[in-house]
């Protein structure tokens, strides 16, 4: 029996909460039993130009997969995030911006946000960007990133944000796939006192094949270092100067695309997930309000980057749709030193902090004293996202960061889901450290065995979702077939999340991690295939196999087995060169932690690499290697064990 480690909902939290225990149960039941009526009630969270009469019209049937919500509704996302708040809160701060350097900050009110977005929207129009065009954003964490997203939304253009840590090659692939007309970037980004040459990377990306769709490059001046200037380039400040701050909003159908966001899969190139306007925004607003129990006046900080879905939904769209004050942090929690996170909380009086287990573990490694420069008395609620949070990190987060007073909502979701799927609600659901707890409204999870049979009660299996929810990605940009194959073909009639999961006797869900060949490194998704194809492109490499292994801070580290070409001798120098190769090719997040030379890889007789065995060797679990008799050459395994870590 496991120890009962439970944190019941506390009185104070329950009292002020939007949703208490009884409401959760009633609303959840209604969302499953009378979904149309349930969702019709929620529509008021947004301002619609045309209120939809149609609710969910999705189908998960393999031959006719379609995700469609509120299809006769019309609205504009930027209007919902800005204009509709102007009557009541024009002078309230919308975006609190904290620079990388602690001496730099900005407070942008809703009135100022309206003007900045209006000017840029007019500027974009003057460049010929219009409804339906795609725009790639490759930007630092500066207010202009939010302006750019919202300016696109205002005129009906589709943004595709590429994380500023990705390499020119990765950027080029995403520009090409999305067919972007315009790229918005900055001269340099500043993170932890270091500069990343974003504009140079864009130049580099644009010399690659297939990126000639790009007509203009808009450059924000941030770092201030000189940059090479190309014919397509245009300064952001020059474009918006003299533009009117009034720009009429484009009325969009609820199913018109709002953005594309790329994420890694187990095979092939990254997938551009398409999110649409109505369902996404409603789900973003609703989850932000209920899961973080957001009330007027709260200061809310999601410490993610806008390059990920977490930043899209919970820095920009969710909070702004709710008229919130959202904090945007350019830097990293370890700069100038490890006290920064707490200092930022105190500086702005942050009430709600949403961050990742990897950040918690990084702080925890420095001991309890790490936050002694701050009090963090303003905090009321903590949130976790990106990977399972181990109970030890949960307790530290609770005890040290939250002074033992703040509930933690562990939110399980994905780029594909747009918003939270399984999560606690602070006023309604008792917490169990390490569990994402219970499904959000309208979400119907199930656990399947490998044959696709649904498991009842306490069980472990493949986590699937049985019906659509409004924030669900509609398709993969330009490749609906891949969308169907990836998410709807393993089992009939359900969405396959790719995660393994256990449900306990109380019906609580415990995510156990990816069951496909996707790594989760510091809460970021990486396909093993992507890293392998990068490695085999190196002249010295004959073959490579990549697996994850338990890493104290990052959750998973990247462990690489490399077979060299016959004429190449292994050396430490070559190891360093290969690590650098991957870093340049994909980005710093994909940098291998360990490289092991492998004279041969364990393969089945049909030539399939047995990753299960490689994972065990990487993790140092040498006793339970399981059945190796089906290997073409079982001797390979002993050889790998013998040379482990060398």
Q: Per CB under 6 A, which region of 95-103, 284-292, 408-416, 628-636 contacts ligand WT7?
A: 408-416
Min separation Cβ 493 and ligand WT7, Å: 20
Min separation Cβ 273 and ligand WT7, Å: 9
Beta carbons of 473 and 419 less than 8 angstroms apart: no
d(CA 463, CA 449): 9
Under rule CB under 6 A, which residues in 134-163 are in contact with ligand WT7? none
Min separation Cβ 463 and ligand WT7, Å: 8
Q: Is 387 in the site for ligand WT7 (CB under 6 A)?
A: yes
Residue entry with tokens 């009429």:
248
Min separation Cβ 304 and ligand WT7, Å: 8
Supply 260's token pair: 């594309």
Min separation Cβ 334 and ligand WT7, Å: 20
613 three-state secondary structure: helix
d(CA 183, CA 156): 16
Q: Which of 309, 327, 381, 544 contacts ligand WT7 by CB under 6 A?
A: 309
Q: Which of 411, 437, 522, 534 contacts ligand WT7 by CB under 6 A?
A: 411
Q: At what angle do helices 572-585 and 528-536 cross, to 10 degrees?
A: 120
* SS3 annotation, 340-360: HHHHHHHHHCCCEEEECHHHH
Q: Which of 259, 413, 487, 491 contacts ligand WT7 by CB under 6 A?
A: 413
Q: Which of 121, 282, 436, 447 contacts ligand WT7 by CB under 6 A?
A: 436
Nearest to 190 by CA among 168, 220, 151: 220
**How far is CA 82 from each of CA 98, 277, 573, rounded to the nearest angstrom?**
21, 15, 53
Point out the annotated binding site for Mg(2+). Answer: 536, 538, 541
Q: Per CB under 6 A, which region of 180-188, 226-234, 399-407, 409-417 contacts ligand WT7?
A: 409-417
Q: Which of 23, 251, 414, 643 contacts ligand WT7 by CB under 6 A?
A: 414
Min separation Cβ 364 and ligand WT7, Å: 17
d(CA 94, CA 82): 9
Q: Which residue is nearest to ligand WT7 (CB)?
A: 415
Instruction: Report how many residues bind ligand WT7 under the rule CB under 6 A.
Output: 25
Nearer to ligand WT7, 211 or 411 (CB): 411
Q: Is 179 in the site for ligand WT7 (CB under 6 A)?
A: no
Q: Is 287 in the site for ligand WT7 (CB under 6 A)?
A: no
**How far is CA 19 from each of CA 27, 284, 289, 507, rounded to the nearest angstrom?**
9, 17, 10, 19
- The secondary structure element, H or E, covering residue 550 is strand 541-551
Q: Is 68 in the site for ligand WT7 (CB under 6 A)?
A: no
Nearer to ligand WT7, 167 or 497 (CB): 497
Q: Which of 259, 394, 412, 549 contacts ligand WT7 by CB under 6 A?
A: 412
Backbone φ, ψ for residue 453 (5° rounding): -85, 135
Min separation Cβ 522 and ligand WT7, Å: 10
390 three-state secondary structure: coil
Q: Is 410 in the site for ligand WT7 (CB under 6 A)?
A: yes
d(CA 384, CA 355): 5
Q: Per CB under 6 A, which region of 243-251, 511-519, 586-594, 637-645 contacts ligand WT7?
A: 511-519
Min separation Cβ 358 and ligand WT7, Å: 11
409 three-state secondary structure: strand
Under rule CB under 6 A, which residues in 518-547 are in contact with ligand WT7? 520, 523, 525
Q: Is 263 in the site for ligand WT7 (CB under 6 A)?
A: yes
- Give the angle subtended at the CA of 203 by the CAs of 537 and 228, to the nearest 5°: 135
d(CA 83, CA 284): 18
Supply 526's token pair: 């990486």
12 three-state secondary structure: helix
| Positions in the binding site for ligand WT7 (CB under 6 A) | 263, 308-310, 384-388, 410-415, 436, 497-499, 511, 513-514, 520, 523, 525
């Amino acid at each position: 029996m496991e120890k009962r480690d439970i944190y019941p909902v506390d009185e104070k939290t329950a009292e002020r909460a939007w949703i208490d225990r009884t409401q959760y149960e009633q609303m959840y039941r209604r969302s499953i039993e009378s979904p149309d009526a349930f969702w019709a009630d929620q529509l008021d969270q947004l301002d619609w130009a045309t209120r939809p009469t149609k609710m969910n019209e999705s189908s998960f049937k393999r031959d006719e997969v379609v995700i469609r919500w509120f299809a006769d509704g019309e609205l504009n996302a930027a209007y919902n995030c800005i204009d509709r708040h102007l009557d009541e809160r024009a002078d309230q701060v919308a975006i609190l911006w904290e620079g990388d350097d602690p001496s730099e900050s900005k407070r942008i009110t809703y009135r100022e946000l309206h003007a900045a977005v209006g000017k840029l929207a007019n500027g974009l129009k003057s460049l010929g960007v219009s409804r339906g065009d795609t725009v790639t954003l490759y930007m630092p964490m500066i207010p202009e990133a939010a302006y750019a997203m919202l300016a696109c939304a205002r005129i009906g253009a589709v943004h595709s944000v590429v994380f500023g840590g990705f390499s020119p090659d990765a950027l080029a692939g995403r520009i090409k796939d999305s067919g972007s007309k315009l790229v918005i970037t900055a001269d340099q980004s500043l993170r932890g006192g270091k500069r990343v040459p974003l504009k140079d990377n864009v130049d580099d990306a644009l010399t690659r094949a297939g990126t000639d769709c790009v007509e203009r490059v808009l450059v924000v001046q941030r770092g201030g270092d000189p940059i090479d200037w190309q014919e397509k380039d245009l300064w952001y400040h020059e474009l918006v100067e003299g533009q009117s701050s009034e720009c009429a909003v484009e009325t969009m159908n609820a199913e018109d695309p709002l953005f594309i966001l790329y994420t890694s899969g187990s095979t092939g190139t990254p997938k551009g997930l398409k999110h649409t306007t109505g369902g996404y925004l409603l789900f973003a607003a609703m989850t932000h309000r209920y899961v973080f129990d957001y009330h007027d006046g709260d200061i809310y900080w999601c410490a993610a980057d806008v390059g990920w879905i977490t930043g899209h939904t919970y820095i920009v769209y969710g909070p702004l749709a709710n008229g919130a004050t959202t904090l945007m942090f350019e830097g990293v929690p370890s700069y100038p030193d490890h006290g920064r996170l707490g200092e930022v909380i105190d500086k702005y009086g942050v009430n709600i902090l949403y961050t990742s287990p990897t950040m918690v573990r990084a702080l925890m490694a420095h001991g309890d004293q790490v936050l002694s420069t701050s009090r963090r008395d303003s905090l009321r609620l903590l949130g976790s996202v990106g990977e399972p949070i181990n109970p030890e990190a949960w307790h530290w987060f609770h005890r040290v960061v939250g002074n033992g007073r703040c509930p933690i909502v562990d939110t399980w979701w994905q780029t594909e889901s747009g918003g939270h799927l399984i999560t606690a609600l602070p006023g309604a659901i008792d917490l169990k450290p390490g569990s994402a707890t219970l499904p959000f409204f309208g979400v119907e999870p199930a656990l399947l065995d490998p044959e696709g049979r649904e498991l009842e009660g306490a069980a472990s299996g493949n986590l699937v979702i049985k019906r659509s929810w409004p924030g669900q990605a509609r398709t993969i940009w330009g490749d609906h077939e891949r969308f169907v194959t990836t998410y709807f073909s393993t089992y009939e009639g359900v969405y396959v999340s790719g995660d393994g999961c256990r449900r306990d006797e109380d019906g609580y869900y415990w995510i156990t991690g990816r069951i496909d060949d996707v790594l989760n490194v510091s809460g970021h998704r990486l396909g093993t295939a992507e890293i392998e194809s990068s490695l085999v492109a190196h002249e010295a490499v004959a073959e490579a196999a990549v697996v994850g292994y338990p890493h104290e801070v990052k959750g998973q580290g990247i462990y690489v087995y490399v077979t060299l070409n016959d004429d190449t001798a292994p050396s430490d120098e070559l190891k360093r060169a290969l690590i650098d190769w991957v870093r340049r090719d994909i980005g710093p997040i994909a940098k291998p932690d360990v490289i092991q030379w492998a004279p041969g890889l364990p393969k089945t007789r049909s030539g399939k690499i047995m990753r299960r065995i490689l994972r065990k060797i990487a993790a140092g679990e040498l006793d339970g290697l399981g059945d190796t008799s089906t290997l073409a050459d079982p001797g390979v395994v002993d050889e790998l064990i013998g040379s482990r870590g060398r």
